[in-house]
């Protein structure tokens, strides 16, 4: 059982790092900008169908930032629980299941919509998390 909290903390650290990098890329540098400058210009001008109170660019930035926050929250909460409140985490089927479901959801999203680096890191984080579950049940 001594290794299980460290495995979850490792998993959480990977997801936290992805979230922090993604947040940094959302607001600084060119990594999340469209390669097509005309597209970026149009995104600043065009509103989504749901409302004219925003632009597609603002939606793009907001969705990327909120996605980052989700990753950061997972990493911070599960890292904290694993290292400080391991008994609570490892005795809660709800929390353990929720963490696994979220990681599996990230795998689905990364496989379907992202590229290979985030997918590889999320697969590694999920592997560590699943290994922690196996170790804790053994």
H or E stretch including 136? helix 116-137
The pLDDT of residue 30 is 92
Q: Which pLDDT value is given to residue 13? A: 98
Nearest to 18, CA basis, from 76, 89, 68: 68
What's residue 1's pLDDT?
A: 61
Write down the pLDDT at residue 103. 98
pLDDT at 24: 97
Per-residue pLDDT 10s for the chain (138 aa) are 679 999 999 999 999 999 999 999 999 999 999 999 999 999 999 999 999 999 999 999 999 999 999 999 999 999 999 999 999 999 999 999 999 999 999 999 999 998 899 999 999 999 999 999 999 998
The pLDDT of residue 52 = 94
Q: Between the CA of residue 96 and those of 66, 102, 131, what are the distances in Å? A: 23, 10, 12
Q: Which two tokens stand for residue 65?
A: 């930032």
Rounded to an integer, what distance in angstroms lies between the CA atom of residue 132 and that of residue 117?
A: 23
Cβ-based neighbour number of residue 126 at 10 Å: 20
Rounded Cα–Cα distance for residues 129 and 104 (Å): 11
């Amino acid at each position: 059982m001594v290794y299980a909290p460290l495995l979850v903390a490792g998993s959480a650290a990977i997801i936290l790092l992805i979230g922090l990098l993604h947040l940094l890329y959302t607001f600084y540098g060119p990594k999340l900008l469209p390669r097509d400058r005309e597209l970026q210009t149009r995104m600043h001008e065009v509103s989504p169908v749901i409302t004219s109170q925003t632009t597609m660019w603002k939606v793009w930035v907001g969705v990327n930032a909120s996605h980052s926050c989700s990753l950061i929250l997972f990493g911070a909460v599960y890292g904290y629980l694993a290292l400080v409140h391991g008994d609570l985490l490892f005795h809660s089927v709800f929390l353990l299941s929720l963490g696994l479901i979220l990681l599996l959801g990230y795998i689905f999203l990364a496989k379907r919509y992202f590229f290979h680096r985030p997918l590889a890191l999320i697969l590694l984080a999920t592997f560590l998390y699943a290994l922690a579950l196996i170790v804790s049940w053994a």
